[in-house]
Amino acid sequence: MAEAVKQPLPVLVIGGSMVFLSYLITGIGLGSVYAIIALGYSMVYGIAKMLNFAHGDVIMIGAYVAFFALSRYNLPAVAAVLLAIAVCTTLGVLIERLAYKPLRQATSLSVLITAIGVSYFLQNMAQLLWSSSPKIFSSIVGNRSLTLFDGKMSIAYINILTIITCIVIMIVLTLFINNTKIGRAMRACSEDKDAAKLMGINVNKTISITFAIGSGLAAIASVLLCSTYPSVYPTLGSMPGIKAFTAAVFGGIGSIPGAFVGGLLLGIIENLSKAYISTQLSDAIVFAVLIIVLLIKPTGILGKKVNEKV
Amino acid sequence: MKKSNLLNKLFDKQHKKQTVSYLIVIFAYVILEALLKTGNISSLFKNLLVPCTCYIVAALALNLCVGLSGELSLGHAGFMSIGAFTAVCLSGLLAGTLTNAVLRLVIVIIIGAAVSAFFGFLIGIPVLKLQGDYLAIVTLAFCQIIVSLINNVYFGFDEKGLQFSFIENKLNLSSSGKILIGGPIGASGTQRISTFTVGIVLIIISLIVIYNLMDSRNGRAIMAARDNRIAALSVGIDVTRTKMLAFVISAALAGAAGALYGLNFSTLTPAKFGFNQSILLLVYVVLGGLGNITGTIISASVLYVLPELLRSFESYRMIIYSLVLIGIMLISNNKFFKEKLAELKTRRFNRTHSKEAE
Amino acid sequence: MKKLLVVLLSVFVVFGLVGCSGGSGGDEASPTIKLGGSGPLTGGAAVYGNDVFHAAELAVKEINEAEGFDFFDFKFEDDEADPEKAPNAYGVLKDWGMQVSIYTTTSGAGLAVVEDYFNDRIFAITPSGSNPGLVYNGSTNYDNCFQVCFTDPNQGVASADYIKNNALGEKVAIIYRSDDDYSTTVYQKFKDEAAKVGLDIVYEGSFIDTDSDYSAQLTAAQNAGADVVFLPIYYTPAAGILTQADAMGYAPVFFGIDGMDGILTLEGFDTALAEGVYLLTPFAADATDDKTVHFVTAFKEAYGGTPTQFGADAYDAVYAIYEACKAAGVDGTNSTEEICDALIGQFTSMTFDGLTGKATWAANGEVSKSPKAVIIENGVYVAAE
């Protein structure tokens, strides 16, 4: 039995396992958002071998675009999402062309600092254009919950939507990478750029496409993120960015299933430790688990072991 | 004769760079101190002096780790926070018994550095088993853990003794007691005892430590391990040990910088030492040049002062700052620019060589 | 490459030295008083700093127009709400020749410069820095430092009393921000007072600045059976909490303090969610008294957007300084120290009638005015009985 209600729940004696389940599902929802962001991080890392710290700020831009589309221009949700994807994809490609492409031969640290510069730039531009006063995002599926077991458990629809979206993205992306020409080119570039070039692959174009996909995913993530946690503000992307980066490393950076697994685990650990241990220490716990995982598997859960060449 | 020998030694190929960096620091100190004494310096600039020395020392520490040892650390702010909070607590406790501020400052900086070095050692054990970006993320994780732990520490004292509580503030101090760390609020009401002179001395000590390390057998081992780990292993270098040495020294210097920093402000919050602070240090190091000590000193001072100089641009200043950052990276890695530079270098090289031939 | 970079950077340093070693005392003979102040104009807390900046600027403009000459010259510097940057902002203001100050917008930044203000004898009154440490520290009374807003402890006590006396609920949950001085102080005092008056606190949860998910805390509060949720936090996270509570179908009585003001004007926020929320605030932007209407209209005209209590407090701070200066007969020709002493005398004796109510000041710098409880009904504040 399932029905949508917007009424306060009667205060019932709720079974421990039900409570656990609802924390778990919220955690999976949060983890799915991390996973989508982490996919962007991971793909870019796999191919361009750079940590794109501006990725979180692309999410922020996506959130603002979707917010204005929904609240100021009253566009339908689908149009808002598409618009956000279009803007973020363009922005991602633009950033890559202007800031990262000239540094293809430079050290990875130079690229890292440039990415940080881009991140500062986007945050401060957002503040200048849209002010630092936060805006409240109205959820694309409304604030309703699915209630199960006679009201003993409720799951927000947005959680369900997030989880489904994440799984769909995961499947589509895997098929794309394995079965299309561009996907194969991407894999070739991540294995060996020079060899890929010799095989007639346009490396620059492939990297651009990777950035486009990663940024598009960031736009989707931004809409899902803000539908759950509704404040939109200029530094919105920083924390999810760091968390998603952690998730990507957790699962094995460069690996697509790794990003998925890492994101989900991170979300679950974070939410359960908030619920059962301490809200103040949840970040410490997440990072402690990360360290333990990396000590046992130094390249992450699903990461490839790279043999050193002598 | 002897004198010229010494001069020769100071300015020979091997030591020229080192001498230049000492001279820059001393020169800057003399000028600034003269300006301070004659009152010709603005209040703003006066306030910037001590934090600037802190950032220089912290950036030098990070350069030892990233530039010389080749380990990308995104968590040096964590070491700064350990040093800072240790120093603030100790200084608060000692304030009654040790009234000489400079002596107290020196003692707490040393202890702050020691505590930070100890944590550096503990963290180094797991961290240095990893490589590359995985090492970077683990240092970031440690920094986040340290900040989030300090965020939950409540520590104070009154005439009955010390009180400590975790997560919840359970301190029950008498009216004459003092809270040293108040959880997320951090330390407040700290007596500001840091001085510019101590900051400069700390920079010079850092330079001595780093240069001596670079010239030593251990230092060469560290750089060998950075350039080619496997080759270093094959000639019998204990890579983990040498890297640990660099990491611990780096942590100690960062802790000392943090101690000086903590005692320069009357309030200090743990949140200050998050990811952004670590990144800030990294920016100083990369812009100054990896492994380039003089460059680090200059870039840290300039980049620290730059946002203050841009105040007149009001809300545009951080945008300008970010563009400067991107611009420097793009220009310094530009092919055309690099070629021109190489040309200049060879021309100068030729000139000096032809001189020597004469 | 590195060498050229070094050279380039050195040029900057020299530029910096030259650019910074200026700084003059200003024109001594002018009757214009140099009024300074700092707050976060960039970074995460910029919304508060900008509100204070704009409202104070508005007050200065009005006063100057009414006087027919520049009574105040106003300069507001960015301190990013960061204790590290606050001394720099203070340095810039001092170099400019600041004579009176509206201090800092946030408590953290204020604590970093309170001793400078005290030692330099510059009169300072903070619109919104609510930490008691801004005006006194244990036995040290910073006699030239004052506050316009309530202190945090008072708000905690008043809230607990109100909930108890009006029987808003049986079981109380608290959700506060643990890395915020304001929030934790109110929370502590609320808890102490609740124990005294016999309120049953069933859940205490916290979050930090970077969190945007409150579902774990809300679920726990719901499971603990709380029918009142006390929110000693600012309106931005409060909006998130209200939205998420609604999504969960959890509808207790929400009770906020002055930081909650602003929630109705938050862009994109569904004000229906704030129906029935109680808050203790000295200022309501939609009040209908002449002063408020005038201020809000003028503010909207000049800067767009609705001012919050931060703005109202800043507006009051400037007017309080103005009235005190007029009463004491001081202007810019007096030395900073003379102005300081005159204003201390005025502030500790006068009653100021401003946007945020009638206020008097104690010698320790704390304000005394009565907090008003309002309830949100049909999207507007209604005085609660």
d(CA B252, CA B120): 8
| CB pairs < 8 Å spanning B and C | 141
Residues of A in contact with C238 (CB under 8 A): none
pLDDT value of residue B194: 92
**Contact A173/A256 with Cβ under 8 angstroms?**
yes
**Residue of B184, B314, B317 with shortest CB distance to C179:** B184
Classified as helix, coil or strand, B155 is: strand
Domain range for residue A225? Answer: 33-237
> A8 — contact with chain C (CB < 8 Å)?
yes
Domain range for residue B329? Answer: 18-357
Q: Which chains touch C (3 or more CB pairs under 8 A)?
A: A, B
CB contact under 8 A, B192 and C5: no
Quick check: is B5 in a domain? no
Encoded tokens for C142: 């910073």
| Cβ neighbours for C208, distance < 8 A, ≥ 6 positions apart | A280, A283, B151, B184, C177, C178, C179
**Contact C242/C270 with Cβ under 8 angstroms?**
no
Query: What is the separation of C-alpha B93 from the centre of its chain, rounded to a whole number of angstroms?
Result: 25
Return the closest-CA partner of residue C202 out of C164, C245, C170, C172: C172
CB contact under 8 A, B315 and C42: yes
pLDDT value of residue A128: 87
Predicted complex ipTM exceeds 0.90? no
* % of chain B surpassing 70 pLDDT: 95
d(CA A64, CA A235): 11
d(CA C235, CA C216): 19
Quick check: is B13 in a domain? no
> A110 — contact with chain B (CB < 8 Å)?
yes
Predicted confidence band at A1 (pLDDT cuts at 50, 70, 90)?
very low
- The pTM for the full model equals 0.87
Quick check: is A193 in a domain? yes
Amino acid B197 reads T
**Contact B114/B79 with Cβ under 8 angstroms?**
no
CB contact under 8 A, B287 and C83: no
**Residue of A26, A156, A230 with shortest CB distance to C240:** A230
pLDDT value of residue B118: 96
Tell which of B239, B329, B331, B339 to mutate to test the A interface (max A CBs under 10 Å): B329
Whether residue B345 is predicted with pLDDT greater than 50 in this model: the reply is yes
> A287 — contact with chain B (CB < 8 Å)?
yes
> A133 — contact with chain B (CB < 8 Å)?
no
**Contact C371/C150 with Cβ under 8 angstroms?**
yes
Torsion sign (Cα): A275, A279, A284, A286: positive
Residues of A in contact with C267 (CB under 8 A): 71, 133, 135-136
Higher pLDDT, B171 or B34: B34
Please, what is the average pLDDT of chain C? 85
CATH classification of C27-150+306-368 is 3.40.50.2300, yes or no? yes
Q: Count up the domains in chain B and report the number.
A: 1
Please write the tens of the pLDDT for every residue from C240-283.
899 888 877 888 999 998 888 878 877 778 888 888 899 888 88
Torsion sign (Cα): C60, C61, C65, C70: positive
pLDDT value of residue B4: 64
**Contact B222/B69 with Cβ under 8 angstroms?**
yes
Quick check: is B11 in a domain? no
**Residue of C12, C19, C41 with shortest CB distance to B302:** C12
Quick check: is A256 in a domain? no
Quick check: is A286 in a domain? no
**Residue of B130, B315, B335 with shortest CB distance to A294:** B130
> B46 — contact with chain C (CB < 8 Å)?
yes
Residues of C in contact with A154 (CB under 8 A): 248-249
CB contact under 8 A, B169 and C188: yes
Average pLDDT over residues C294-319: 90
Closest Cα of chain B to C261: distance in Å? Answer: 23
Neighbouring-strand partners of residue C77: C38
> A1 — contact with chain B (CB < 8 Å)?
no
Q: How far apart are the first and last CA of chain C?
A: 72
Fold topology of C152-281: Rossmann fold (3.40.50)
Q: What is the DSSP-derived secondary structure letter of residue A145?
A: E
CB contact under 8 A, B311 and C114: no
Domain residue ranges of chain C, discontinuous segments joined by +: 27-150+306-368, 152-281
Q: Which of A3-17, B132-146, B230-244 has the lowest mean pLDDT?
A: A3-17
Please write the tens of the pLDDT for every residue from B283-339.
999 988 888 999 999 999 999 998 888 888 777 888 888 998 899 888 888 777 777
Average pLDDT over residues B232-240: 87
pLDDT value of residue C19: 45
Please write the tens of the pLDDT for every residue from B62-73.
999 998 888 889
Encoded tokens for B338: 């690099």
Q: Count up the domains in chain A and report the number.
A: 1
d(CA B333, CA C1): 8
CB contact under 8 A, A109 and B131: no
Please write the tens of the pLDDT for every residue from C180-206.
778 888 898 899 899 988 889 999 888
Average pLDDT over residues A132-154: 73
pLDDT value of residue C9: 52
Q: Which of A9-23, B206-220, B338-352, C272-286 has the lowest mean pLDDT?
A: A9-23
Q: What is the DSSP-derived secondary structure letter of residue C253?
A: E
**Contact C309/C94 with Cβ under 8 angstroms?**
no
Quick check: is B216 in a domain? yes
Higher pLDDT, A310 or C322: C322
CB contact under 8 A, A246 and B142: no
> B267 — contact with chain C (CB < 8 Å)?
yes
Residues of B in contact with A45 (CB under 8 A): 133
Predicted confidence band at C12 (pLDDT cuts at 50, 70, 90)?
low
